[in-house]
Structure 1
Amino acid sequence: MSTETTLIKQHVIDPEICIRCNTCEAICPVGAITHDSLNYVVKADVCNLCMDCISPCPTGSIDNWRMMPKAKAYSIEEQLKWDVLPAELSAEELAAAGAEVGAAQEEAQAAAQAAASSASAASTASASGFNSAAYGATIPPWSAAHAYTNLYGPKAAEKTITATVTGNLRVTEVGKQDGQQDYDTHHIVLDFGSMPFPVLEGQSIGIIPPGVDAKGKPHHARQYSIASPRNGERPGHNNLSLTIKRVLEDHDGQPVRGVGSNYMCDLQVGDKVQVIGPFGASFLMPNHPKSNIVMICTGTGSAPMRAMTEWRRRLRASGKFEGGKLMLFFGARTPAELPYFGPLNNLPKDFIDIEFAFSREVGKPKRYVQDALRDRAADIALQLKDPNTCFYVCGLKSMEEGVVMALRDIAQNAGLDWEAIGGALKKEGRLHLETY
């Protein structure tokens, strides 16, 4: 069969369901996924069908495929313009393109199986020789509670759920970002009334901003991690909270007002918002009371850590819970930009061990969360050796490699076999990376 008529199994992403969370691009071991301001897409000539991105996707948008003549595979340029997935080609259309459908499908399936069997080896390689994502778990800890997902979906407006804003509190000081723009972070409480919306610590939801984008299309959902425990921001109520920083610049430092973040930060009590989800079935806290939890985060990556900490605090307050160790490594540029700084300092020291790391504190050297981990190497080594310890990393993508490399170095300096420990952390659902 010629190259022109070779049939391939092309991996595509459903733009109607995708919530642009960046999980797939972050975890892809071969760099096959990219995005622009509209869509996340897959490079057909790079994707090796390893399936590493499938289970971590919170919505299932990643699990889509098209049998295509190789010469006519959808290009990146085509995919970036999609509002919906194109229809699958029929057997007649494939035959008209010259593809011998039966034999070609078998060939494509065989190629997919071969790629999947070699995925673990490929995923350990990267341009720098170290791929932090290779150690990230895609399954939850064994004792995690069952997570409900995708109860309300993004494909049709009637599938959303309406929540009412019952609180909007600024949890950082208002200041100037690099001396130019105001920044602030808000703690927002949403109430779902009588509609069921069960969530667990570590899950997220999607918010659909009102209005349309520059192309006249409805805004896609923005994903936010839940900052409250499973029984609500207010115990016994059908509500939850979010931690949202007002976005005032893009990743290149150019001024821009983030559609979702500014909409959310400006909400008033009584306003209604459209919600989809919940999402996420792996970044979940262990239920086993003796489990230790090491939380490493920056900025609004503190949201799931707040949820886990508060659930443990409530269990402890009940007088019937004797939990494992809690450690928190929390980074920000300055104390003024760190959400929940005051409440965190008021938590009992025998309940949680907290290390702050500030990278731009006046008169002090830069310190990042990975530096704080190294400073506590002896304690972290003990946690790495303990099969009851789970590690959670959440924040900007730029922190991920430094954190995982710090864990590796701490393990090796303590005489531990990092590859064995790193493999166990992944296989047992004990190292979770949620970066963006």
Structure 2
Amino acid sequence: MDLADAVVLKQHLIDPEICIRCNTCEATCPVGAVTHDDRNYVVDPAKCNACLACLPPCPTGSIDNWRRVPLARAYSVAEQLGWDELPDELPPEALAEAGAADTAGEALPVPAAPTEVGAEAAASAVSVAYGATVPPWSAAHPYTNLYGPKAAQRSVTATVVGNVRVTEVGTEYDTHHLVLDFGSTPFPVLEGQSIGVLPPGSDAAGRPHHARQYSIASPRNGERPGYNNVSLTIKRVLEDHQGRPVRGVASNYLCDRQVGDTVQVIGPFGSSFLMPNHPRSHLVMICTGTGSAPMRAMTEWRRRQRAAAAAGARQGHDSAVEGGKLLLFFGARTREELPYFGPLQNLPKDFIDIHLAFSRTPGSPKRYVQDLMRERAADLAPLLADPNAHFYVCGLKAMEEGVVLALRDIATQAGQDWAATAEALKSQGRLHLETY
């Protein structure tokens, strides 16, 4: 009997019913074992070495699924891409009939195949090496997966109560600020979490569209304080990453919603990309485009805390908020394509330190967020060494490596041991990378 037929593989699989296609698993896999098509994310059994690096960052738990199968008959990538749900576990007798002699044995992971080192592989390595998978120690407790395919309630109906374009008319980047109200249905969220929206209709194969994930752009007490609502930052997708024309199923659906329309929502998701709540904690926020959503949520929560403290002080109450520094590095192609450009200009200068980078301004050199970070090295270096400082990176995957390299250079030039600093940032939940 061939050895491959004599062992059992504990195969790593992704549950397509609860996966929200956020790309976290593929971004964090150090051996390139996770891949996807326009429908599913799957694990290649020929590459997976069961290192479990992808488990902690997954916001839904869909990545933490396993099936015991004869090693020679592992589920292929092509099989997994066609699934709408996980297969049942094979009974012991079925394994025995298939020729598996050691049905009680431990998983025998398949050795990882060499992976091609390129831009995407480098960015994935950055996520694995430096991105924290634990929240800040003082973060509030998040509620996750309250609604979804395998929750007590599959989805919740939200009503659109606001839809405003937040980029200038006339630019191809049509970005909207959408406000969803949940009425009497509980939907607790924290800054840094996300939700899934279920667009109506079906794909080319006649299957219902899977959920699309969007970061929440409002603070924990709602876009409108005291109301059970959240806001999202939605960019209308009209082309893919290669520049080919394509209409994003969910983005166009959401951008076209009118006040009074309803949408189906699942979630909330995310338990690590959360803000600290202890006094004197500093936030360094680095983002591009719609990656500004969680940064807006965190900034607005801090702004409301400051306003409440000021109101209390005027009434003679000792309600001072010992807020730390807020630094924002925000990038876009042009000023016209920067979401929330107007409101950003109205934030008090003593409240937040804002730096804007534009890479396609006619007649001006290209500038990226990492360029601005290097210019502020004297301010960032002490924060890298400060256990009260937390760094958040959100936006396109292409920015991730450049931002981390800038942090490395800033730390090194300040005489810090980058290896020790990077380990502290990761283990203490102080550097969070959420790119797509």
TM range (shorter): over 0.9
Q: 1:128 to 1:85 in 2, by over 3 A?
A: closer
Match of 2:125 among 131, 146, 149: 131
Match in the other structure for 1:75: 76
Match in the other structure for 1:347: 347
Confirm or deny that 1:196 pairs with 2:190. no
Residues 393, 400 of structure 1: 8 Å contact kept: yes
Secondary structure at the aligned position of 1:318 is classed as helix
Letter in 1 for 2:97: A
CA distance in 2, matches of 1:249, 1:102: 49
**1:12 Cα deviation after fit:** 0.6
Match in the other structure for 1:119: none
**1:387 Cα deviation after fit:** 0.7
Residues 91, 101 of structure 1: 8 Å contact kept: no
CA distance in 2, matches of 1:128, 1:432: 17
Alignment of 1:332-411 (within 5 A): 332-411=332-411
Match of 1:303 among 266, 282, 293: 293
The gaps in structure 1 that reach 5 residues or longer are 116-125, 177-181
Match in the other structure for 2:25: 24
Alignment of 1:37-436 (within 5 A): 37-102=38-103, 105-106=105-106, 108=107, 131-133=125-127, 134-155=129-150, 159-176=154-171, 182-319=172-309, 320=319, 321-436=321-436
Residues 145, 151 of structure 2: 8 Å contact kept: no
Q: 1:80 to 1:234 in 2, by over 3 A?
A: same
**1:211 Cα deviation after fit:** 1.1
Task: Encode CA deviations 1:41-69: one digit per residue, 9 max, x unaligned.
Answer: 11111111111111211111111011111
TM-score, normalising length: structure 1: 0.93
Residues 27, 123 of structure 2: 8 Å contact kept: no
**1:375 Cα deviation after fit:** 1.1
How many residue pairs are counted as aligned between the two chains?
417
CA distance in 2, matches of 1:373, 1:205: 30
Secondary structure at the aligned position of 2:293 is classed as helix
Letter in 2 for 1:160: S
Letter in 2 for 1:138: T
**1:337 Cα deviation after fit:** 0.5
Q: 1:214 to 1:343 in 2, by over 3 A?
A: same
CA distance in 1, matches of 2:65, 2:410: 40
Residues 331, 357 of structure 2: 8 Å contact kept: yes
CA distance in 2, matches of 1:357, 1:256: 27
Residues 30, 124 of structure 2: 8 Å contact kept: no
Q: 1:60 to 1:127 in 2, by over 3 A?
A: closer
Q: Structure 1 residues 201-210 or 84-93, which shifts more?
A: 84-93
Secondary structure at the aligned position of 1:302 is classed as helix
CA distance in 1, matches of 2:46, 2:225: 51
CA distance in 2, matches of 1:79, 1:127: 23
Letter in 2 for 1:394: C
CA distance in 2, matches of 1:156, 1:39: 20
**1:85 Cα deviation after fit:** 1.1
Match in the other structure for 2:312: none
Letter in 2 for 1:26: A
TM-score, normalising length: structure 2: 0.93
When the two chains are superposed, the root-mean-square deviation of aligned CA atoms in Å is: 1.8
CA distance in 1, matches of 2:430, 2:123: 23
**1:214 Cα deviation after fit:** 1.1
Secondary structure at the aligned position of 2:304 is classed as helix
**1:256 Cα deviation after fit:** 0.4
Letter in 1 for 2:212: R
CA distance in 2, matches of 1:158, 1:231: 23
CA distance in 2, matches of 1:339, 1:64: 38
Q: Structure 1 residues 378-387 or 129-138, which shifts more?
A: 129-138
CA distance in 2, matches of 1:95, 1:130: 39
Secondary structure at the aligned position of 1:274 is classed as strand
Secondary structure at the aligned position of 1:399 is classed as helix
Secondary structure at the aligned position of 2:405 is classed as helix
Letter in 2 for 1:298: T
Q: Structure 1 residues 167-176 or 299-308, which shifts more?
A: 167-176
CA distance in 1, matches of 2:122, 2:89: 38
Secondary structure at the aligned position of 1:293 is classed as strand
Letter in 2 for 1:415: G
**1:213 Cα deviation after fit:** 1.1
CA distance in 2, matches of 1:347, 1:174: 23
**1:75 Cα deviation after fit:** 1.0
Match in the other structure for 1:121: none
Letter in 1 for 2:331: G
Task: Encode CA deviations 1:58-84: one digit per residue, 9 max, x unaligned.
Answer: 111111011111111111111111111
Residues 283, 326 of structure 2: 8 Å contact kept: yes
**1:129 Cα deviation after fit:** 10
CA distance in 1, matches of 2:276, 2:152: 34
CA distance in 1, matches of 2:125, 2:60: 24
